[in-house]
């Protein structure tokens, strides 16, 4: 089964909107063993949409369109699909009734323009939309089938999961899993995983983000065997990468930390400088985080590191704010003052300017726990020259490193995953 | 001049990477008056890339490709362009020399695979890359010209700005500007801007994000007149929308607030609950924010609102943490304790569960300034049913509303832009 995606909307060509729908659809379909072979974006023009749908069905078995189903006159997907099928648009009385009811419930007349949403290509199927007012459409064309979904991500996803995927996806012919790693560079991963790359029918893809790398494993085959084989491959990868693997699929670092804290009935508190609050924001992203996150202090200025966190004034006077002992004192201070089980702290230089003689990218992380306090020096960035994104990247890397160090402390792991692997290798060969 | 984009990479079809490059290119080209008429994503297959490039040049004058120029064997854009042009790949001695030098400088042998980056289609031009090691390529084909750029965003952007845009973009035939608004719903904007929509040769696009809407104005015409006309249109829009317009183009709310604070030699401090640190993260995004941001307190638990921010215990006991007076006390507390000119505070319910009898989406914002303290109730969300994104959206809306209220306080504006507009309308008609 080959599927192409067609996203409709001038705003995407102009770059006002990033095509998140296509990425979501690609991932969803891949997870169900359906290959997306091409993804096309066109503007709001009926002729162009007709041509793009027809060309796509010349190559693929099905096309999923998103966008162009709304009420305004630049919503042209309905018109294009009717033209491609050579049928007129007809008004669906049931859809019209629902639109009128909705307007009445809101105490207003329905606008004529809004009723366009009740027009469907003659003979088209309606795809139930349990999240919104306009359904998706299913149109059979000579070359294959078109599923037309709304551009609103929430509605698109609902229709996809509830209606389209069950129709499109047979039993998968490949098994895929994404392992999430933190703390090891991509090149280190690639060297360690060379034996996996060499296996027949196994493919690895490295998906780097600041300070973390997702490793996507694909195993070809059929039936339940393929999942067994994937299980074996995953087990071997985990042996090779050790504790650098922190989760699978959508299991982000903040979720892992939230789970570990919950299991231990523990709480965390954050003391931040260069990250400005991003660590706290991550630790409160999960529902229910009020049970695991006590609170935080953003001590951006040196004075506040003393006043709010109790970092000794002479330490700051002697070394400035960017120093390993300051990170440790911040972590202990926030743990103590907020009454949390763990304190996590960061201090460093996000740039663009050097600070107190320290290079951009110099960052120290402190983790204070029930037994002890650890200090970690963040590995220096391969900074892509001074650029507008450097500051953002350093802040993001610092957040990831900090969460990962909290995870490692919670699990009783050594701070450096590479050192741990080197030790394992020595033991294995010795 | 019609340009199509071709993004190459399996990771995009699989949805592991969102196509941010295409969005950036679309925006950049639109700003220079060049229309992107289509954007296509294909996987790492030579034949498919050849076919896609050829088809694109059947419709457009130029194609910009991104991706597939790296050293690994799934980097196939070079091979595809050579095949499309009917020429062999030849090794460029100067590029080879540079790759060997780079490897030597890092103290290692160059790998044979890496030397692929020195192969170029015979006759192709090299596009200078001042940010990285591999240049872009310029290949003339019968239907038009192909600019092949690397997929690494930083390098792609550099080559685009330094080499490709000056070549592609003539004087613009349309003038575009994006006005950024906060605090008014899209439907309110559309009603107020009906007279602009009705103007000849003027188009408006509404680009909504949580709690803010960007309004993109396009004026057709030629020469310098079109920019004069855009200036007039912009002036009228600003009259109609009043202080809801906070900036233009890339001028985000955090930048505006940073600028206003700098001009006043003032500082801000943030007291956050449901946003967990995101307001502080925004206020420290700009380089130089250490002069305008004092610090912050994330008081996620009720006890910490009392202990760290001095919110009266009886107030919390009587009303709980989600109350307008608590927002005010938090703002005054953080202003006072951190010695800032302004204190900004938020308290509310991000969900997914109700809290102390308050509905999800209930949020109070407090702004404490030199003269007074203001409390604002965040407008209730049109929440799209309880869903996985609701919590994120409410948190994001709260950040935007808080920054906007800080802006309005700094400018001495009323808290509610809609009320202000209603008053202006009465005065105009009276």
pLDDT (0 to 100) of residue A284: 95
CB B36 within 8 A of CB A43: no
pLDDT (0 to 100) of residue B184: 86
pLDDT (0 to 100) of residue B383: 52
Interface confidence, given as ipTM, is: 0.72
Is 70 exceeded by the pLDDT of residue A45? yes
Number of domains in chain A: 3
Q: Is A376 on the interface with B (CB under 8 A)?
A: no
Q: Is B103 on the interface with A (CB under 8 A)?
A: no
The answer as to whether A425 is a domain residue is no
Q: Considering chain B, what is the average pLDDT of its residues?
A: 90
Q: Is B294 on the interface with A (CB under 8 A)?
A: yes
Chain A partners of B42 at a C-beta cutoff of 8 Å?
37-38
Task: Select from B190, B259, B203 the least CA-distant residue to B229.
Answer: B203
Q: What is the mean pLDDT of residues B279-297?
A: 94
Q: Which of A205-219, B144-158, B267-281 has the lowest mean pLDDT?
A: A205-219
Asked if A15 lies within 8 A of B35 by C-beta distance, the reply is: no
pLDDT band, residue B272 (cuts 50/70/90):
very high
pLDDT (0 to 100) of residue B353: 84
pLDDT band, residue A175 (cuts 50/70/90):
confident
pLDDT (0 to 100) of residue B424: 73
Give the DSSP per-residue string, B19-36.
Answer: -HHHHHHHHHHHHTTPEE
pLDDT (0 to 100) of residue B72: 81
How distant, in Å, are the alpha carbons of A250, B317, B320, B377 from that of B314?
Answer: 42, 5, 9, 22
The answer as to whether A156 is a domain residue is yes
Is 70 exceeded by the pLDDT of residue B285? yes
Q: What percent of chain B has pLDDT over 70?
A: 95
pLDDT (0 to 100) of residue A71: 84
Give the DSSP per-residue string, B92-160.
Answer: -HHHHHHHHHHHHHTTSPPPTGGGGGGEEETTPEEEP-TTSSSPEEEEEETTEEEEEE-SSHHHHHHHI
Q: Which residue has the tokens 């919950």?
A: A262
Instruction: Mark whether A242 and A266 lie in a shared domain.
Output: no
Beta bridge partners of B90: B120
Q: Could you tell me which residue, A305 or A386, shows the higher pLDDT?
A: A305
pLDDT (0 to 100) of residue A382: 55
Return the residue in B298, B334, B341 with the most chain A beta carbons within 10 A, the one to mutate for interface testing.
Answer: B298
Q: Which of the listed residues A248, A272, A300 is the one where a domain comes to its end?
A: A248
pLDDT (0 to 100) of residue A171: 58
How do residues A69-128 score in pLDDT, each as one tens digit? 988 888 999 999 999 999 999 999 999 998 888 888 777 788 888 888 999 999 999 999
* CATH number of the domain bearing residue A211: 3.30.70.2860
Q: Which of A8-22, A80-94, A141-155, A377-391 has the lowest mean pLDDT?
A: A377-391
Measured distance CA(A174)–CA(A299) in Å, rounded: 49
Q: Which residue has the tokens 């007709």?
A: A50
Is 60 exceeded by the pLDDT of residue A430? no
Task: Select from B105, B150, B112, B114 the least CA-distant residue to B130.
Answer: B150
Measured distance CA(B409)–CA(A82) in Å, rounded: 53
Q: What is the mean pLDDT of residues B348-357?
A: 88
The answer as to whether A422 is a domain residue is no
> Among all residues of chain A, which has the CA nearest to that of B9?
A38
Q: What is the mean pLDDT of residues B343-352?
A: 93
Instruction: Mark whether B99 and B198 lie in a shared domain.
Output: no
How do residues B193-236 score in pLDDT, each as one tens digit? 999 989 988 988 888 888 899 999 989 876 668 888 999 999 99
Asked if A298 lies within 8 A of B297 by C-beta distance, the reply is: yes
* CATH number of the domain bearing residue B267: 3.90.950.20
> Among all residues of chain B, which has the CA nearest to that of A283?
B276
Asked if B16 lies within 8 A of A384 by C-beta distance, the reply is: no
Phi-psi label, residue A416: left if phi above 0, alpha if psi -120 to 50, beta otherwise: beta
The answer as to whether B424 is a domain residue is no
pLDDT (0 to 100) of residue B335: 97
Q: Is A40 on the interface with B (CB under 8 A)?
A: yes
How do residues A319-366 score in pLDDT, each as one tens digit? 999 999 999 999 999 999 999 999 999 999 998 888 888 988 899 999
* CATH number of the domain bearing residue A118: 3.40.980.10
Measured distance CA(B379)–CA(B352) in Å, rounded: 18
How far the first Cα of chain A sits from its last, in Å, is: 50
Instruction: Mark whether A278 and A379 lie in a shared domain.
Output: yes
Phi-psi label, residue B21: left if phi above 0, alpha if psi -120 to 50, beta otherwise: alpha
Q: Which of the listed residues A222, A248, A274 is the one where a domain comes to its end?
A: A248
Chain A partners of B391 at a C-beta cutoff of 8 Å?
285, 287
- By Cβ distance, the residue of A13, A37, A178 closest to B43 is A37
Q: Tally the residues of chain B.
A: 430
Domain that holds residue B186: 174-248
What's the DSSP call for residue B230? H
Q: Which of A46-50, A194-198, A420-424, B64-68 has the lowest mean pLDDT?
A: A420-424
Residue B140: CB atoms within 10 A of its CB come to 12
pLDDT (0 to 100) of residue B188: 84
Q: Tally the residues of chain A.
A: 430
Instruction: Mark whether B56 and B128 lie in a shared domain.
Output: yes
Instruction: Mark whether B204 and B328 lie in a shared domain.
Output: no
Q: Is A334 on the interface with B (CB under 8 A)?
A: no
pLDDT (0 to 100) of residue B337: 94
Q: Which of A104-113, A172-181, B354-363, B400-409 has the lowest mean pLDDT?
A: A104-113
Instruction: Mark whether A111 and A225 lie in a shared domain.
Output: no
Measured distance CA(B70)–CA(B133) in Å, rounded: 10
The verdict on whether omega for the bond into residue A352 sits within 30 degrees of 0, i.e. cis, is yes
The answer as to whether B125 is a domain residue is yes
CA A298 to chain B, closest CA, distance in angstroms equals 5
Give the DSSP per-residue string, B80-107.
Answer: HHHHHHT--EEE-HHHHHHHHHHHHHTT
> Among all residues of chain A, which has the CA nearest to that of B14?
A26
Measured distance CA(B84)–CA(B46) in Å, rounded: 10
Return the residue in A295, A336, A402 with the most chain B beta carbons within 10 A, the one to mutate for interface testing.
Answer: A295
Instruction: Mark whether B276 and B235 lie in a shared domain.
Output: no
Instruction: Mark whether A123 and A53 lie in a shared domain.
Output: yes
Q: Which residue has the tokens 């700009």?
A: B286
Chain A partners of B352 at a C-beta cutoff of 8 Å?
287
How do residues B155-202 score in pLDDT, each as one tens digit? 899 899 889 998 888 655 678 899 999 988 888 888 899 999 899 889
CB A126 within 8 A of CB A135: yes
Measured distance CA(A417)–CA(A396) in Å, rounded: 19
Chain B partners of A285 at a C-beta cutoff of 8 Å?
276, 391-392
Is 80 exceeded by the pLDDT of residue B22? yes
pLDDT (0 to 100) of residue A326: 96
Chain B partners of A337 at a C-beta cutoff of 8 Å?
308
H/E element, B10: helix B10-13
Instruction: Mark whether A194 and A259 lie in a shared domain.
Output: no
Within 114-153 of A, beta carbons closer than 8 Å to B belong to 131-132, 153
The answer as to whether A429 is a domain residue is no
Longest dimension (CA), chain A: 81
Asked if A14 lies within 8 A of B216 by C-beta distance, the reply is: yes
Within 175-194 of A, beta carbons closer than 8 Å to B belong to 178
In this structure, what token pair is assigned to residue A48?
């162009």
Q: Could you tell me which residue, A267 or A355, shows the higher pLDDT?
A: A267
Q: Is A221 on the interface with B (CB under 8 A)?
A: no
Instruction: Mark whether A141 and A76 lie in a shared domain.
Output: yes
Instruction: Mark whether A276 and A356 lie in a shared domain.
Output: yes
Q: Considering chain A, what is the average pLDDT of its residues?
A: 90
pLDDT (0 to 100) of residue B173: 67
- Residue A15: strand, helix, or coil: coil
pLDDT (0 to 100) of residue A67: 95
Instruction: Mark whether A299 and A407 lie in a shared domain.
Output: yes
Scanning B362-414, the segments in alpha helix (DSSP H) are: 390-410
How distant, in Å, are the alpha carbons of B180, B209, B245, B411 from that of B404?
Answer: 11, 14, 10, 11
pLDDT (0 to 100) of residue A401: 94
The answer as to whether B425 is a domain residue is no
> CA B78, B80, B81, B87 torsion: positive or negative?
positive
Asked if A297 lies within 8 A of B300 by C-beta distance, the reply is: no
Asked if A297 lies within 8 A of B299 by C-beta distance, the reply is: no
How do residues A361-377 score in pLDDT, each as one tens digit? 899 999 999 988 888 88
Q: Is A161 on the interface with B (CB under 8 A)?
A: no
Asked if B15 lies within 8 A of A28 by C-beta distance, the reply is: yes
The answer as to whether A427 is a domain residue is no
Q: Which of the listed residues A248, A272, A302 is the one where a domain comes to its end?
A: A248
pLDDT band, residue A17 (cuts 50/70/90):
confident
């Amino acid at each position: 089964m080959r599927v192409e995606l067609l996203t409709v909307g001038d705003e995407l060509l102009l770059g006002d909107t990033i095509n998140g729908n296509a990425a979501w659809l690609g991932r969803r379909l891949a997870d169900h063993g359906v290959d997306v072979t091409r993804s096309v974006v066109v503007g709001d023009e009926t002729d162009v949409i007709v041509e793009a749908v027809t060309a796509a069905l010349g190559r693929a078995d099905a096309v999923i369109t998103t966008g162009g189903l709304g009420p305004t006159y630049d919503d042209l997907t309905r018109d294009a699909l009717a033209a491609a099928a050579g049928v007129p648009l007809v008004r669906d009385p049931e859809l019209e009734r629902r639109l009128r009811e909705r307007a009445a419930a809101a105490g207003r007349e329905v606008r004529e323009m809004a009723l366009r949403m009740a027009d469907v290509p003659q003979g088209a199927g309606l795809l139930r939309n349990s999240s919104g007012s306009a359904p998706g459409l299913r149109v059979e064309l000579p070359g294959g089938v078109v599923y037309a979904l709304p551009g609103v991500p929430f509605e698109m996803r609902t229709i996809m999961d509830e209606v389209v995927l069950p129709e499109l996806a047979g039993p998968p012919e490949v098994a895929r899993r994404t392992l999430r790693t933190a703390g090891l560079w991509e090149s280190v991963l690639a060297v360690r995983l060379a034996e996996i790359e060499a296996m027949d029918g196994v493919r690895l893809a490295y998906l780097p983000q600041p300070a973390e790398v997702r490793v996507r494993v694909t195993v070809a085959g059929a039936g339940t065997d393929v999942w067994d084989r994937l299980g074996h491959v995953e087990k071997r990868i985990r042996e090779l990468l050790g504790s650098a693997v922190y989760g699978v699929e959508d299991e982000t670092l903040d979720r892992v930390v939230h789970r570990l804290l919950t299991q231990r009935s523990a709480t965390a508190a954050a003391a931040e400088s260069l990250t400005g609050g991003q660590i706290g924001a991550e630790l409160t992203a999960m529902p229910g985080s009020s049970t695991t996150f006590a609170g935080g202090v953003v001590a951006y200025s040196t004075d506040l590191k003393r006043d709010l966190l109790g970092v000794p004034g002479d330490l700051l006077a002697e070394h400035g704010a960017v120093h390993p002992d300051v990170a440790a004192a911040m972590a202990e201070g926030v743990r103590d003052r907020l009454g949390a089980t763990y304190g996590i702290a960061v201090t460093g230089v996000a740039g663009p300017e050097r600070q107190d003689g320290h290079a951009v990218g110099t960052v120290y992380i402190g983790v204070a726990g029930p037994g002890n306090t650890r200090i970690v020096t963040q590995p220096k960035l391969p900074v892509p020259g001074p650029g507008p994104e450097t500051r953002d990247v350093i802040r993001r890397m610092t957040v990831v490193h900090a969460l990962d160090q909290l995870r490692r402390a919670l699990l009783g792991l050594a701070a450096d995953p590479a050192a741990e692997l080197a030790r394992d290798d020595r033991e294995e060969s010795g």
